[in-house]
Structure 1
């Protein structure tokens, strides 16, 4: 779970409070790894659930990534210098949101190469192609937009989880640098997008009498410029830039 009071949304000038509950699964098998995450995001009424609503918006956002380890598939080592291995990553994002305007119904498929660096924990860097579409429903006009596909565009992405020795502290997070995706469904040009989300966590399992690496808490920060490709210098305004500190707590099964 994580919570913060200064989330932002395009075309909305308010600071928004959100509580985010997530279910995260990471596993490995003979030929690679799986990552699956579901976020359930609950906004306060500064991001209303509908036109004239006093309730906050709700959103579900799902991410899945599979990385095929080429060394495990081919039997050939790709270790060289700081490189631990090479992989092929594929997966998808999708979301659904109820709010007072856009009501996103995003679908996105991703695929591309990944470099796995030789560090404590992990640090993976990938260059992925994105196939993204959306079919929003406008609560003001009550018009559903036919599913619209953006231009295929690249994303440079990194994900890391690095323990700080045996201290119980770790540095974790991801960074996405996403190229513009052509024009959006309303004919406006999209902008280059930067989304960096990082946290410093500490293992408190021994403090609460739990098994090691079961209970973690920490501080998280997200910087998101041109959110969802909306140009923050245009009509989307300052809501298209997020500077969001959060408190984060995790329980590992």
Structure 2
């Protein structure tokens, strides 16, 4: 259990330090998701898919020179097969705005701002660690709360098979589009938020091919806190659609899944 919570605690402590420095705004959410997700061929033990629960702690905040984002997923499915069994996965991104740091507008055309981005991806059972230095292009998109294009490297620092994890991999790259689009229909408040990423192919430590993948996770949210309790931006219900071509680099697994989504904004 110590292993399960070590990285989330470190991430929380790091962002607490940023908040103490110069936090201008912050949003923290707890998500509950439930759906049937595919098991990649390399992880199958007689099971091809499983009903899966994902509980997520997600945080975003802004400070004088940029913004921060992280999430931690707790994942558990209904099968005891060694995959997604009380596991966790976490991502963290620190964005440093060039406009804010220099005091000048460094945007151009539809690009409102450019940021220097540092990211990290971490998983529990697989002992995977990835580092993602790169650049963020924040777009000037009418109607969007935000619309970003992130272009990063995808450096592997995983433990590898000899230390009980997944095979290490060559370095690669990532393109990620992330957004939030709020809208209203009559008196009801909705939003479409999420991201879509492309990660390039690479080889693992045994010379095997890890395929490129496309992962899209758009969420459709209805603000039921406003609709039922007249308390806006507190409780949401909806769905998350997960499309994952070549899931986890397995070119035989293309996932298309709809998950129930409940969100509590703290």
* CA displacement, residues 67-110 of structure 1 (integer Å, 9 cap, x when unaligned): 1111000111023332221111102111112xxxxxx1100111
1:63 aligns with 2:91: yes
1:154 aligns with 2:173: yes
- Contact (CA 8 Å) 2:159, 2:168: kept in 1 or not? no
> RMSD value over aligned CA atoms?
2.1
Aligned partners of 2:210, 2:248: CA distance in 1, in Å?
9
Match of 1:28?
62
Instruction: Describe the SS at the equivalent of 2:101.
Output: helix
- Contact (CA 8 Å) 2:198, 2:215: kept in 1 or not? yes
User: What is the total number of aligned residue pairs between the two structures?
Assistant: 228
1:151 Cα deviation (Å)?
2.0
* CA displacement, residues 152-184 of structure 1 (integer Å, 9 cap, x when unaligned): 211111111111257411111111101112x21
Match of 1:44?
78
1:230 Cα deviation (Å)?
2.5
* CA displacement, residues 116-149 of structure 1 (integer Å, 9 cap, x when unaligned): 0112201100110011243356xxxxx7458864
Match of 1:96?
124
Q: Relative to structure 1, is the Cα distance of residues 207 and 146 closer, same or farther in structure 2, using a 3 angstrom cutoff?
A: closer
User: TM-score, structure 1 length as denominator?
Assistant: 0.83
1:211 Cα deviation (Å)?
2.9
Aligned partners of 2:49, 2:169: CA distance in 1, in Å?
29
Within the candidate set 129, 146, 151, 1:122 is matched to: 146
Aligned partners of 1:147, 1:246: CA distance in 2, in Å?
27
Which one is further off, 34-43 or 79-88? 79-88
Aligned partners of 2:245, 2:157: CA distance in 1, in Å?
20
1:189 Cα deviation (Å)?
1.5
1:30 Cα deviation (Å)?
0.2
Aligned partners of 2:166, 2:72: CA distance in 1, in Å?
23
- Contact (CA 8 Å) 1:7, 1:18: kept in 2 or not? no
Aligned partners of 1:58, 1:136: CA distance in 2, in Å?
20
Aligned partners of 2:166, 2:213: CA distance in 1, in Å?
22
Within the candidate set 199, 210, 235, 1:178 is matched to: 199
Instruction: Describe the SS at the equivalent of 1:168.
Output: strand
1:7 aligns with 2:38: yes
Q: Relative to structure 1, is the Cα distance of residues 207 and 190 closer, same or farther in structure 2, using a 3 angstrom cutoff?
A: same
User: TM-score, structure 2 length as denominator?
Assistant: 0.79
Aligned partners of 1:201, 1:144: CA distance in 2, in Å?
41
Instruction: Describe the SS at the equivalent of 1:185.
Output: coil
Q: Relative to structure 1, is the Cα distance of residues 29 and 248 closer, same or farther in structure 2, using a 3 angstrom cutoff?
A: same
Higher relative contact order (CA 8 A, sep 6+): 1
Instruction: Describe the SS at the equivalent of 1:40.
Output: strand
Aligned partners of 2:113, 2:184: CA distance in 1, in Å?
22
Gaps spanning 5+ residues in structure 1: where?
51-55, 98-103, 138-142, 233-239
